[in-house]
């Protein structure tokens, strides 16, 4: 079905190597998310898998067949683009039917499959509209519809939610996850938003500068980040990373502690500090505390009921079992 293997894949644009040799295995039916800051090569990697770009070296195999030289249309993959890339001059019906028309399916079969897709995606009432008359979320669903009618070996999503507003994004996130559960087809999803990665993925691939920093399930990445980059990238609010004397005391170049793993007390603790800005979210409260331990304020997460004055003196104590230690190269010390 949809097992994709990248073997020493590289990509250069002229002199610039965007992706140094990279190996990755994606199992059939997996929901894999490529996540990383912008310019990390995650979209390029997706386009290499899609066949929209040539690899500069290495091989890509899909279902055991070497697909490196196969043109995009023949790879059996479907892609949902960031801008949705709907054909503005065609109705929703024609948009969804386009890949079927290109495949030469007869009209009745086209109509049947379009109707199926439309039902799954709640688009039945909009089939005769043009993309321009739809809302962002509806357009997104049409793009997905166009992808699912082909019954591809795998779906490729290129930052599909980045053009939607925050509320819609949460809804579409659920819909895509739901779709994945129902179809059980391989999905490769590119995003720069670590929340999307955490909530949707079976497997997250964290990329930086074309290099895979870590591959693992969301919880693996959260609980055991392999290096300081992953530690800082995954999780919101960010993990507190502290260098200098405090780290040395614990035999590391850098130590990391997540905001929810710090006890805050008025009377005693490891680090003395002064409360700065507090952010009340209702469910949680984040305190930014300036301490002697690090020049950056340390973020502490508490329950929503907790209240502290601006400028108040407090004490912070990291829970030792949740301390992450990293060496001078930024790698995790077990």
Partner 1 sequence: MATKASRAAARLMISPAVLLLLGWMIVPLALTLYFSFLRYNLITPGAHPFVGWENYYWFVTDPSFKVAMVNTLQLVGGVLLITVVGGVIFALLLDLPMFGQGIIRIMVIAPFFVMPTVSALVWKNMLMNPVNGIFGQIAKAFGFQPIDFMGQIPLLSIILIVSWQWLPFATLILFTAMQSLDREQLEAAEMDGARWPSRFIYIVLPHLSRAITVVILIQTIFLLSVFAEILVTTNGGPGTASTNLTYLIYVSSLLQFDVGMGSAGGVIAIILANIVAIFLMRMIGKNLDA
Partner 2 sequence: MARAVSTKTKVINTAIVGTLGFLVFFPILWIAILSFKTEENAIRAPLEVLFGSGWTFESYFTVQARSDYFKHFSNSVIISVGSTFFGLLIAVPAAWAMAFVPAKRTKDLLMWMLSTKMLPPVGVLVPIYLIFRDLGILDTRSGLVFVLMMMNLPIIIWMLYTYFKEIPGEILEAARMDGATLREEILYVLTPMAVPGIASTVLLNIILAWNEAFWTLNLTAARAAPLTQFIASYSSPEGLFYAKLSAASVMAIAPILILGWFSQKQLVRGLTFGAVK
Question: Which of 13/87 has CB closer to partner 1?
Answer: 13
Window 32-71: residues binding partner 2 (CB under 8 A): 50, 52, 71
Question: Which of 65/89 has CB closer to partner 2?
Answer: 89
Residue 293 and residue 271: Cα distance in Å, rounded? Answer: 7
Residue 117 and residue 123: Cα distance in Å, rounded? Answer: 8
DSSP string, 233-258: HSSSSPPEEE-HHHHHHTTSSEEEE-
Q: In this chain, which of 36, 51, 216, 259 binds partner 1, going by CB under 8 A? A: 51
Look-up of token digits 């929340």: 195
* Least distance in angstroms from the C-beta of 261 to partner 1: 44
Question: Which of 159/246 has CB closer to partner 2?
Answer: 159
* Least distance in angstroms from the C-beta of 88 to partner 1: 22
- Report which DSSP code applies to 182: H
The Cβ of residue 240 has, within 10 Å, a number of other Cβ atoms equal to 25
88 counts as binding partner 2 under rule CB under 8 A: yes
Question: Which of 47/332 has CB closer to partner 2?
Answer: 47
Number of residues that bind partner 2 (CB under 8 A): 23
2 touches 56 (CB < 8 A): no
77 counts as binding partner 2 under rule CB under 8 A: yes
72 counts as binding partner 2 under rule CB under 8 A: yes
63 counts as binding partner 1 under rule CB under 8 A: no
The upper half-sphere exposure of residue 194, i.e. CA atoms within 13 Å in the direction of its Cβ, equals: 19
17 counts as binding partner 1 under rule CB under 8 A: no
85 counts as binding partner 1 under rule CB under 8 A: no
Q: In this chain, which of 17, 28, 52, 323 binds partner 1, going by CB under 8 A? A: 52
Residue 92 and residue 127: Cα distance in Å, rounded? Answer: 5
* Least distance in angstroms from the C-beta of 131 to partner 1: 25
186 touches 13 (CB < 8 A): no
- Which helix (H) or strand (E) segment is 148 a member of? helix 136-148
Cis peptide before 67 (omega within 30 of 0): no
Binding residues (CB under 8 A) for partner 1: these are: 13, 51-54, 71
Binding residues (CB under 8 A) for partner 2: these are: 50, 52, 71-74, 77-79, 81-83, 85-89, 98-99, 102-103, 146, 150
């Amino acid at each position: 079905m949809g097992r994709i293997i990248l073997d020493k894949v590289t990509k250069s644009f002229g002199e610039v190597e965007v992706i140094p040799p990279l190996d990755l295995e994606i199992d059939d039916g997996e929901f894999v998310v490529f996540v990383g800051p912008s310019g990390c090569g995650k979209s390029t990697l997706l386009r290499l898998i899609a066949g929209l770009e040539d690899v500069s070296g290495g091989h890509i195999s899909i279902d055991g067949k070497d697909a490196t030289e196969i043109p995009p249309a023949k790879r059996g993959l479907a892609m949902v683009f960031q801008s949705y890339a709907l054909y503005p001059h065609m109705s929703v019906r024609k948009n969804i039917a386009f890949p079927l028309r290109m495949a030469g399916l007869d009209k009745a079969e086209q109509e049947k499959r379009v109707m199926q897709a439309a039902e799954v995606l709640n688009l039945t009432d909009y089939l005769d509209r043009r993309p321009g008359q739809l809302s962002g979320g509806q357009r997104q669903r049409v793009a997905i519809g166009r992808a699912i009618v082909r019954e591809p070996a795998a779906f490729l999503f290129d930052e599909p939610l980045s053009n939607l507003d925050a509320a819609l994004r949460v809804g579409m996130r659920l819909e895509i996850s739901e779709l994945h559960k129902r179809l059980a087809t391989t999905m490769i999803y590119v995003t720069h938003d670590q929340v999307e990665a955490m909530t949707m993925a079976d497997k997250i691939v964290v990329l930086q500068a074309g290099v895979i920093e870590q591959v693992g399930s969301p919880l693996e990445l959260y609980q055991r980040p392999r290096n300081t980059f992953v530690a800082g990238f995954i999780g919101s609010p960010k993990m507190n990373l502290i260098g200098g004397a405090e780290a040395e005391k614990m035999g590391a170049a850098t130590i990391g502690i997540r905001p929810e793993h710090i006890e805050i007390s008025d009377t005693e603790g490891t680090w003395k500090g002064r409360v700065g800005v507090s952010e009340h979210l209702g469910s949680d409260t984040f305190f930014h505390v300036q301490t002697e331990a690090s020049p950056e304020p340390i973020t502490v997460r508490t329950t929503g009921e907790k209240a502290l004055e601006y400028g108040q003196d407090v004490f912070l104590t990291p829970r030792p079992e949740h301390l992450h230690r990293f060496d001078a190269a930024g790698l995790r010390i077990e």
